[in-house]
Amino acid sequence: MEVRTFVLEDELHREAELLAHLRPNEWVCRSREGALARGLLREMLGERMGCAPSEITFEVAPGGKPRLAGGEEIAFNLSHSRGLVAIALGADPGARIGIDVESADRRFDVDAFCEHVLHPAESARIRALPQVERQPALLRLLIAKEAYVKALGCGFRLDPRDFDVDAVAVLREFEHKQGRSLWLGAVCLIE
């Protein structure tokens, strides 16, 4: 498994090149950040496949997750948040991979998430922590849950209350720090 992170501010000098990799209407990008993330993904896949990034063709799998067209079996996933892009590529054919990254300064209503979003075992673990530790623990847990459902290819159509991510997934957590900015992330690989 290969994971790379990119701070978009450091990649802006290549913006035209990255955007040139994209095909019209391939994926609808809601933001410039999303479009640049897809250009970076194409570069990584092109390196792995030994072809030009613009030659890569995607299709959408049942459930909505993008995949390589034409039977290529490289698992990939990307995430972006507040100027950071994280991309994961799997090494084994048939593997499924999910990645999520979030800015460490994201804040949530811990009690509301424990009540309405988390599995009861997860909620109990968060509530058992000292107050000062709950917010960062919740953020890491939400990142892990999103990486898992992205690996499954179903996104949050799977109700997050229906599974305890610690019981069903093997995750690798990571951090990326640049200057005063910190991002937290997780990768889930299902083989």
**Is the Cα torsion angle 166, 79, 88, 25 positive or negative in sign?**
positive
- pTM for this predicted structure: 0.91
Q: Say how far apart CA 76 and CA 67 lie, in whole Å.
A: 8
Token look-up 């995607």 returns 58
Please say whether the beta carbons of 62 and 154 come within 8 A: no
Q: Say how far apart CA 67 and CA 41 lie, in whole Å.
A: 12
Query: What count of residues does the chain have?
Result: 191
Quick one: pLDDT at residue 150? Answer: 95
Task: Give the phi and the psi of residue 117 in degrees, each rounded to 5.
Answer: -120, -35
Quick one: pLDDT at residue 29? Answer: 61
Hey, what are 70's tokens? 């034409």
Residue bearing the bigger pLDDT, 19 or 44: 44
Please say whether the beta carbons of 151 and 139 come within 8 A: no
Across 33-49, average pLDDT: 92
Give the CATH number for residue 170. Answer: 3.90.470.20
The alpha carbon of 5 is separated from its chain's Cα centroid by a whole number of angstroms, namely: 11
What kind and span of H or E run contains 163? Answer: none
Quick one: pLDDT at residue 27? Answer: 54
The per-residue pLDDT of the chain, averaged, comes to 91
The share of the chain scoring above pLDDT 70, in percent, equals: 96
pLDDT by residue (tens digit) across 105-136? 999 999 999 999 999 999 999 999 999 999 99
Quick one: pLDDT at residue 120? Answer: 97
Domain extent at residue 184:
2-190
Other CB atoms within a 10 A radius of the CB of residue 121 amount to 13
User: How many domains are contained in the chain?
Assistant: 1
Quick one: pLDDT at residue 26? Answer: 57
Across 42-67, average pLDDT: 91
Please say whether the beta carbons of 162 and 148 come within 8 A: no
C-alpha triplet 82, 74, 31: angle, nearest 5°: 25
